[in-house]
């Protein structure tokens, strides 16, 4: 394989990642609506810790746990903004 072909594979994976991230965000919006109806707290630190533990325990590399946690930190920050916007 050459670099061009490998980059096409990356582009294809990036498209799938974007699609999956937006599917995740749609679920976040549903959770936000339920929290709003129940007047529940938007930010739940325990849930954030659960996510970090789950992703790091599933990580088989080559990305480090720190790298994945940084990605998820940004993802969850964006999700929190979506949930707060519902209020």
Calculate what percentage of the chain has a pLDDT beyond 70: 98
pLDDT tens-digit series, residues 49-66: 999 999 999 999 999 999
Distance CA 50, CA 33 (A): 21
pTM: 0.87
Distance CA 87, CA 12 (A): 36
Tokens of 45: 């630190």
| Complete DSSP assignment for 58-84 | H--SSS-HHHHHHHHHHHHHHHHHHHH
């Amino acid at each position: 394989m050459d670099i061009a072909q490998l980059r096409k594979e990356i582009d294809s994976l990036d498209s799938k990642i974007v699609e999956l991230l937006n599917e995740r965000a749609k679920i976040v919006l549903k959770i936000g609506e339920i929290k709003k109806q129940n007047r529940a707290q938007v930010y739940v630190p325990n849930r954030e810790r659960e996510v970090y533990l789950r992703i790091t325990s599933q990580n088989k590399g080559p990305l480090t746990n720190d790298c994945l946690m940084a990605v998820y930190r940004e993802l969850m920050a964006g999700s929190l903004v979506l949930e707060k916007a519902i209020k």
